[in-house]
Structure formats: C-alpha cells, structure tokens
Chain A
C-alpha cells in the first residue's frame, strides 16, 4: 500500500526554538494533506488541511502563526512549530490523500519541548 513518511519521528528541543516536521508521500502524489495532534490516550485532533500550492486551512482554535504549514509540492508538506513551549509537546501525525481519495497516515512525530 501507499506509504507516508514523517521525519523526524522524535524530536526534543528547548523552549523558544522552532521545529520543522516533514510529511512525504513516497509513492503517490497528494494534493491534500492533513495535520493532526494527539495527546496521550486521546483521539486525533485535526489541526489543518494543507493543499498543494495554496494556504493551509486551519481548524478553529489552532494558531496559524504558531503552526506554520507549507505544502510546496505534491509529495511534501511541512509543519513548523514556532517558538515552541512545553505545552506544544505532543504527537503530531500527518495524512495524505491519494488520487483515489484514500487517506494514508504517517507514523507520527513525537515532539518534546523542554
């Protein structure tokens, strides 16, 4: 099946720094990618929808200046957590939609902000 790769899988950073997480669709082109956040033992919360070549659409309550999303190509979307703080520590997951509409999820990226 199709593969969606996230990098890095784990990242630890100091408070106040910015962190970039990449999401790549390895064997298909994804016009739409989604970014989710998941706290321990909780469900996935949709943060934003990313369409190639256009601005991301953020869900209510998600700070777009805090969580910068760029979808520069049909196979790559990036999430940058700017000026990260301990409360931003979470599991971030991306998903990519194939041309047939099927959704494939990445393996997730665990962010820990000290």
Chain B
C-alpha cells in the first residue's frame, strides 16, 4: 500500500497563483522528505527537500511546510508559471540514504 498519501491528484492554477500539494505519512521513522518535479517523458528531478527538525524550507518560489505532529508536509509553488506545469511527487525515506517511498503524484497545470 502507498506509504505516502498525496493529494490532490491534479490541479489547475492560473499564472501568478499559488499551487498547494499535500502529503501525509504514517511511518514515524521517516526523516527525509524530498519533492520531485517530472516533465512528460523525463525522469524526476529533485526540487527541494526537508528534514523534521525544521517546519519550513524555502527555495525561490518553492516552499515546503512540515508538520511533524500531524505527519504531514506540503509543497507551495508561489507565483506559478506555465513552465511549472508538470507532475510533482512527494517522497519520504528513513534517512537520506534510505529507500524512497513516493506519493501518487499531482499533475499541475498552470494556465496563461
């Protein structure tokens, strides 16, 4: 079964808007939470990652929020651009050396 639950399955956002993708997990041993961006026909690329010792991490327009007690984390894409249209996967592992467990993915479409 999916160890990391991701929602929504897809979302459409206007250019300049905020895209929000949520993930939840059960395994409290997970302590590394990366987000990947995948374009059609390409492999995933690491966007940003967080560890449980911080509640938020920001890199450019991408922000991860982490709620350890709720076992949830989310990706916010600020000022969404058409070039951000892609599928986003959250993932989790026990340490950055552990096997990654991927969420189901969210297809984001940013309209002009």
On A, residues with C-beta under 8 Å from B are 4, 6, 34, 41-44, 46, 49, 91, 93, 95, 97, 101-108, 110
Q: List 16 A-B contacts (CB under 8 A).
A: A34-B99, A41-B107, A43-B89, A44-B44, A44-B102, A46-B99, A46-B100, A49-B99, A93-B43, A93-B44, A101-B96, A101-B97, A102-B46, A103-B46, A107-B42, A108-B43
A106 lies within 8 A of B43 (CB): yes
On B, residues with C-beta under 8 Å from A are 2, 34, 36, 41-46, 89, 95-97, 99-100, 102-105, 107
Of residues B2, B43, B99, which shows the largest number of chain A Cβ atoms within 10 Å of its Cβ? Answer: B43
**Seed contacts A91-B41, A101-B95; 15 additional CB < 8 Å A-B pairs:** A4-B43, A43-B103, A46-B100, A49-B99, A93-B43, A95-B43, A101-B96, A101-B97, A102-B96, A103-B96, A105-B43, A105-B45, A105-B46, A106-B43, A107-B42
Give the complex CA separation of A103 and B105 in angstroms. Answer: 18
Give the complex CA separation of A8 and B41 in angstroms. Answer: 13
Main SS of the interface on chain A? strand
Main SS of the interface on chain B? loop
B41 lies within 8 A of A43 (CB): no
Partner of B42 from the list A44, A102, A108 (CB cut-off 8 Å) is A108
Which residues of chain B come closer than 8 Å to A102, judged between CB atoms? 46, 96
B99 lies within 8 A of A108 (CB): no
Give the complex CA separation of A91 and B103 in angstroms. Answer: 17
Partner of B43 from the list A6, A41, A43, A101 (CB cut-off 8 Å) is A6
Query: Closest residue to B2 on the A side, CB-wise?
Result: A43
Which residues of chain A come closer than 8 Å to B41, judged between CB atoms? 91, 108, 110
Of residues B34, B44, B45, B99, which shows the largest number of chain A Cβ atoms within 10 Å of its Cβ? Answer: B44
Closest CB of chain A to B77's CB: distance in Å? 19
